[in-house]
Amino acid sequence: MSRPASALSADDTPESLRARQLFGCVVTGGRLAATGPSVVADKVEQWLWSSGAPNKALTEADLCETFAIGRRMARQTARVLQQRGVMAPHRGGKGAGGLRPTAPTAEEAARSLVLAAHGAVTPRAIHEARDLLRPLLSDRQGALSGWLNSTMAQIDRAQSAGPAADVFTPIFGCGRKSQVIADRLLGELAAAPDRGKATHLGSLDAIAERYDTRLEIVIEAVRMLEDHQKVVLQRGRGGGVVGSDGSVSQAARMTNAFLSAHGVSFDACREMLEQINIGMIDLACQRIGERGGERVERALGAMAQARDATEVGLAWYPFQREIALMADSPVLHLLAQCLAGTLLLRRLSSADLPDPQARELFDASRSISLNLKQGRTGQSAREHRRCQTALGVCW
């Protein structure tokens, strides 16, 4: 699933920009603000998985020279890549020192997905995921099935452990004052009614006053939380530190790193994603309500009103997300986001979607919407495969 190696470059192609846009749409709904180091890390990561492992270690000096950034941002970028679990530091001289690609284990990749659940996993969601995956995995071996089996096992353990295993438990330990503040902010997110998602923690000054500490300590704590994609710092009026659902992005990145490093084929990922999406469509058929139906129709309407073929393709991802939300099966939804992310980072060959594919995509989506409205389970497998075939031509 990789192409011949090429040099790391700050220059974006239209295809690479589109791939990152679609990845963000799938794993965060396009809502997650990207900091400077995260943007640079995104480019490094995309190069890494599209070009194959580099022959030499990637140093902070390489980052500074390639992206025309300062040492501070280079250090932050290196830290983000390490926290994503895709690169690790190596010591040594004569070009051996620096960051080198690392392969997460199945357990590490699965753990990142469990953390992304944000306590939303219910016994019903686990049961639905297991019912769908069991026949798909019964005669399979290899890295993909290992990751899925490990994910289900860890979800079971997290469910049994209860709230203590929540994503917002302390992660920094009792070290510097900034680490203590970061863990306390995680505690605030854990106690929020919405489990931290979009929770407003206040301005940097307000947090410093609340914890009777210096502003620079709070800035360092927030920076660490940003690196871990637990918060975003929103600028301007009404801004401040806000809880983020970016750990879905972390899970998708670690999944991509794991599947890439273990040579899982593109076709195997696509086939598993198709089966999970078809399963969610059938669950949505069973659970469609007035509000859910309206949201799906609104998403389909956005596809119909798109100005060109590419916008039709861009609007398909929110349409698919509304179906997944209607299915109300968070384990399957998370698995689908992770698999879709790994496909988008590697298969995109054109920034634009051709007209014939856009027409096919919309026609199949309209049929799926009608099946949902009429509650026809088991009738959308062919239509969803038409969608995937239309996108697979270049997206």
Q: Crossing angle of helices 60-67/36-51, nearest 10°?
A: 100
Beta strands in 91-230 (DSSP E): 98-101, 200-202
- Is pLDDT larger for residue 230 or for residue 351? 351
**Other Cβ atoms closer than 10 A to 356:** 11
Say yes or no to pLDDT of 24 above 80: yes
Fold: same for 103-246 and 265-392 = no
DSSP 3-state of 324: helix
Check residue 338 and give its pLDDT: 95
User: According to CATH, what is the number of the domain 103-246?
Assistant: 1.10.10
Distance of CA 363 to the CA centre of its chain: 28
Check residue 159 and give its pLDDT: 75
344: which 2 tokens?
A: 């988008």
Under 8 Å between Cβ of 167 and 115: yes
CA distances from 335 to 35, 42, 246, 279, 340 (A): 26, 21, 15, 12, 8
Is 14-88 assigned to CATH 1.10.10? yes
- Is pLDDT larger for residue 385 or for residue 163? 385
Say yes or no to pLDDT of 222 above 80: yes
Say yes or no to pLDDT of 237 above 70: no
CA distances from 263 to 2, 149, 392 (A): 9, 18, 20
What does the buried/exposed string (b/e) look like for 275-286 if buried means 16 or more CB atoms within 10 Å of the residue's CB? bbbbbbbbbbbe
Check residue 230 and give its pLDDT: 79
What are the residues whose beta carbons fall under 8 Å from the beta carbon of 23, sequence distance 6 or more?
Answer: 252, 341, 344, 345
Under 8 Å between Cβ of 132 and 329: no
Q: Is 349 exposed, middle or buried (0-12, 13-18, 19+ CB in 10 A)?
A: exposed
> What is the pTM (predicted TM-score) of this model?
0.81
Tens digits of per-residue pLDDT, 126-152?
999 999 999 999 888 899 999 999 999
Check residue 2 and give its pLDDT: 37
Domain boundaries, the chain: 14-88, 103-246, 265-392
141: which 2 tokens?
A: 């071996």
Instruction: Please name every residue paired with 57 in a beta bridge, in sequence order, or none if there are none.
Output: none
What is the greatest pairwise CA distance in the chain?
66
Q: Is 366 exposed, middle or buried (0-12, 13-18, 19+ CB in 10 A)?
A: middle
Q: pLDDT-derived band of residue 205, with 50, 70 and 90 as boundaries?
A: very high
User: According to CATH, what is the number of the domain 265-392?
Assistant: 1.20.120.530
Q: Enter the DSSP assignment of 307.
A: S
